[in-house]
Amino acid sequence: MGEIKIKKIKRGGDSLKERLYLPAIFSGMGVTFSHFIKNLKDTDNLKVVWYPEESPKDITKNYRGVHRLMRADDGSVKCVACFMCATACPSECIFIVAKERENGDIEKEPDRFEIDLLECVFCGGCVEACPKDAIRMDSGIFSFIGGKREDFILDKDRLLSHNDLAKRNDG
Ligand code: SF4
Ligand code: SF4
């Protein structure tokens, strides 16, 4: 049986230069500044989006934006308050209170449906879990601005309004 060849690599960091850290820091800064100067001389090279005035144009069709609650063909809320999305949500940021549906064959609908965007990690788990395709993340809203924490808690009416907005954008 042949002898196994083992390549021994000397552990770095022993020399005075390496232990000082400063030469490595200055070397890194040198690379950063060389790119900075190069880009200053040739600004055409830079890809700039004047956000938020200008929207990025390279957003994939499969992006995950702010949620929307879907409506059925008759205009009613598609959600049947089954709690599957809230159960699947890893951030526990979906709050649902169910009520009895007054007409139709379906038993329930949400009386209260809220998503706390400050806790949401935009994983898409709620969309995947929904058996009714009642919640989607293709509202066309991919940035959300608010002045206080409460602005980021989206209630049922707000989520339904995102559906109407998305439909307008789809034409
Ligand atoms: S996207 Fe993920 S974190 Fe956000 S509400 Fe849906 S399941 Fe929860
Ligand atoms: S959005 Fe879908 S998963 Fe969530 S409660 Fe409604 S029907 Fe169930």
Question: Rounded mean pLDDT of 4-21?
Answer: 85
Entry field: residues in the chain: 171
Q: Kindly tell me the burial class for residue 88, based on how many C-beta atoms sit within 10 Å of its own C-beta (0-12, 13-18, 19 or more).
A: middle
29 — pLDDT class (breaks 50, 70, 90): very high
d(CA 153, CA 37): 44
Q: Which ligand is nearest to the CA of 119?
A: 1
Q: Whose CA is nearest to atom 8 of ligand 1?
A: 89
What are the tokens at 165? 């907005």
Chain-centre distance of CA 167, in angstroms? Answer: 21
Partners of residue 115 on adjacent β-strands: 94, 154
Q: From the CB of 96, is ligand 2 less than 6 Å away?
A: yes
Ligand 1 center from residue 137 Cα (angstroms): 10
- The pTM of this model reads 0.73
Q: From the CB of 115, is ligand 1 less than 6 Å away?
A: yes
Ligand 1 center from residue 85 Cα (angstroms): 8
Ligand 1 center from residue 142 Cα (angstroms): 14
Q: Which atom of ligand 2 is nearest to the CA of 82?
A: 8
Q: From the CB of 91, is ligand 1 less than 6 Å away?
A: yes
Contacts of residue 45, defined as CB under 8 A and 6 or more positions apart, other chains included, come to: 38, 39
Would the pLDDT of 115 be above 50? Answer: yes
Q: Give whichever of 1-15, 86-100, 151-165 has the largest mean pLDDT.
A: 86-100
Q: Are 134 and 160 in contact (CB under 8 A)?
A: no
Question: Rounded mean pLDDT of 100-125?
Answer: 93
d(CA 96, CA 112): 5
Question: Rounded mean pLDDT of 95-99?
Answer: 97
Task: Read off the pLDDT of residues 33-85 as tens digits, 9 standing for 90 and up.
Answer: 999 999 888 888 778 888 878 878 888 888 899 999 999 998 899 999 999 99
Question: What are the φ/ψ torsions at residue 110 (nearest 5 degrees)?
Answer: -80, 130
